[in-house]
């Protein structure tokens, strides 16, 4: 029986080459594949890393606050936090300021996973952006930020945006 050839990266379909939906979809798929491969050895997904980063940025934080900041529904967030708790990366505790609500905090393993995951995700983004010059990569980030968050008034600088500055 003949062996099947390895699947190759899709080619640009000329009729769709200028369609933003097509281009953004394929760019997102490529970045998601690179990110998943980079995070796989750490046992976390890109969504889980995003949750860990939000928790790390403003502890202590409630599940509802995390969900609101990320634009994720509460039920989905509960599932994400449950998974991170099973992996011993976060822990829930009563909020000292309001015993009726729980807050989520990183464990020591969660802090390590956040640091290592962030570094791995940065490397995946660098690989994704390799075809662009540093100026083009910065311009792409700025353009996507403006398109994704058109109401955002505040101008972000490289040190606030997560961009690498050269």
Q: What is the pLDDT of residues 115-161, one digit of tens each?
A: 999 999 999 999 999 999 999 999 999 999 999 888 875 555 444 44
Which domains can be identified in the chain, with CATH numbers?
19-133 (1.10.10.10)
Closest C-alpha among 100, 99, 81, 101 to residue 91:
81
For β-strands 90-95 and 98-106, DSSP reports them as antiparallel
Structure tokens at 95: 């909020």
Helix axes 46-57, 63-70, angle to 10 degrees: 120
Query: Can you tell me the distance from the alpha carbon of 111 to that of 130, in angstroms, rounded to the nearest whole number?
Result: 29
pLDDT in tens, the chain (166 residues): 444 444 456 688 888 888 999 999 999 999 999 999 999 999 999 999 999 999 999 878 999 999 999 999 999 999 999 999 999 999 999 988 888 888 999 999 999 999 999 999 999 999 999 999 999 999 999 999 999 888 875 555 444 444 443 3
Task: Locate all alpha helices (DSSP H) within the chain, ordered by sequence.
Answer: 20-39, 46-57, 63-70, 74-86, 108-129, 134-148, 158-161
Closest C-alpha among 136, 133, 111, 137 to residue 42:
111
Query: Can you tell me the distance from the alpha carbon of 127 to that of 37, in angstroms, rounded to the nearest whole number?
Result: 12
Those residues with Cβ within 8 angstroms of residue 110's Cβ, 6 or more apart along the chain or in another chain: 52, 55, 84, 88, 89, 90
């Amino acid at each position: 029986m003949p062996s099947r050839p390895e699947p190759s990266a899709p080619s640009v379909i000329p009729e769709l080459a200028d369609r933003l939906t097509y281009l953004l979809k394929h760019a997102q798929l490529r970045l998601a594949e690179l990110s998943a491969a980079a995070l796989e050895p750490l046992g976390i997904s890109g969504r889980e890393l995003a949750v860990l980063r939000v928790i790390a940025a403003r502890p202590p934080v409630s599940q509802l606050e995390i969900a609101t900041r990320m634009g994720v529904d509460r039920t989905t967030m509960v599932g994400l936090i449950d998974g991170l708790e099973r992996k011993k990366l976060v822990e829930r505790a009563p909020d000292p300021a309001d015993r009726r609500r729980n807050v989520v905090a990183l464990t020591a393993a969660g802090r390590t996973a956040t640091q290592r995951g962030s570094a791995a995700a940065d490397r995946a983004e660098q690989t994704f952006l390799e075809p662009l010059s540093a100026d083009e990569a910065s311009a792409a980030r700025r353009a996507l930020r403006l398109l994704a968050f058109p109401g955002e008034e505040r101008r972000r600088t490289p040190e606030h945006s997560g961009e690498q500055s050269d």
